[in-house]
Chain A
Amino acid sequence: MSDSAAHSNSDEAWDDLMGQLAAQPKYQPQPFFYTRVQARLAAQSATPPILGWLRRPAYAVLLGALVLMLSGDGSALRPAVGVVHDNASPR
């Protein structure tokens, strides 16, 4: 088979395949799609944004770490302040 004949066959086969791709059945969402969209909208508006944000594990862990860190600082600093104060006070 010559090069040009092979080329022509190849193009025909490709076009045929593209035809099959285009001729695939057109899929559609299940009935009552609009109702499901409405339900999703309602569910999203019922959830305060901060709760949605907290549902992400990374943010929740970060927030937890921040709370621990801040609460830890307070208890760690208090004795130090006390020590300075005790040393500074005249006997």
Chain B
Amino acid sequence: MAQGLLTDTRLSPLPAADAALVAQLQQGSEVAFRTLVARYQDRIYQTAFSLLRSAEEAEDVAQEVFVEVYQTIGRFRGEAALSTWLYRLATSRALKNRQRARAKKRFAFFTSLLGFNNETLHEPPDHGHPQALLEGQQQLQLLLAHIARLPDQQQVAFTLRHEQELSYEEIAAVLETTVSAVESLLFRARQTLRKHVNPLLRHV
């Protein structure tokens, strides 16, 4: 995935502030790495959290992203914004983690059916903010549940647009696609969500 970004020429050029940071990182500056983490940790963590809805898994993904950046920064040629690369790493790793968790769950279910173990199957803990659990927030909770069921690309596009407030162009760069493809992903995501969340919201 990182390799894809390193050779992609469609993405926006590297902003000056990030260019200086990348140059220092490539020289092995620990101060620069600390600055990078401080600058991006919240955005990366929030993106992972939005896709996984688990504080523990979001922390894990965010750590993995920065470790990968540290290990592969030497190959970064600055043809894309640093934030684009980070968002791309975060979203792909979050989706991979989720697929792994689902496969594990399916395997556990299968083995429990065959009686190989007596582990109790349980849903991952719900770390939704208490605010979302209040009576008046039921619709938001329902929305979050349905966002989690969207196809991967739609979910990433929707999350980056509505929770990270990225522009269509930025989302297209993260997903390595075109702006019209992002528009289509968002249209389909909204259509699905409006259909499921509330009959009143059905008109798209």
Contact = CB atoms under 8 A, between A and B. Distances in A.
A34 B203 contact: no
Nearest 9 CB-CB pairs, A to B? A10-B203, A29-B45, A7-B203, A37-B66, A20-B140, A34-B37, A14-B201, A27-B49, A40-B63
Interface of B: 34, 37-38, 41-42, 45-46, 49, 55, 58-59, 62-64, 66-67, 70, 129, 131-132, 137, 139-140, 143-144, 162-163, 165, 190, 194, 197-198, 200-203
A41 interface: yes
B67 A37 contact: yes
A18 B163 CA distance: 9
Given A21-B163, A25-B131, A33 B200 contact: no
B90 to A, nearest CB: 12
A29 B62 contact: yes
B67 A40 contact: yes
Instruction: Pick the most buried of B49, B58, B201: most chain A CB atoms within 10 A of its CB.
Output: B201
Interface of A: 6-7, 9-11, 13-14, 17-18, 20-22, 24-30, 33-34, 36-37, 40-41, 44
Contacts of B194: 10, 14
B163 A27 contact: no
A16 to B, nearest CB: 9
A27 B58 contact: yes
Contact of B34 (A11, A34, A41): A34
A1 to B, nearest CB: 11
A26 B67 contact: no
23 contacts: A13-B198, A14-B190, A17-B201, A18-B162, A20-B139, A21-B143, A24-B131, A25-B131, A28-B42, A28-B46, A29-B45, A29-B58, A29-B62, A33-B37, A33-B41, A33-B45, A33-B62, A33-B63, A34-B34, A34-B41, A36-B63, A37-B63, A41-B67
A22 B201 contact: no
Contacts of B62: 29, 33
Given A9-B200, A10-B203, A29 B67 contact: no
A5 to B, nearest CB: 11
Contacts of A20: 137, 139-140
Nearest to A37: B66
Contacts of A29: 41-42, 45, 58-59, 62
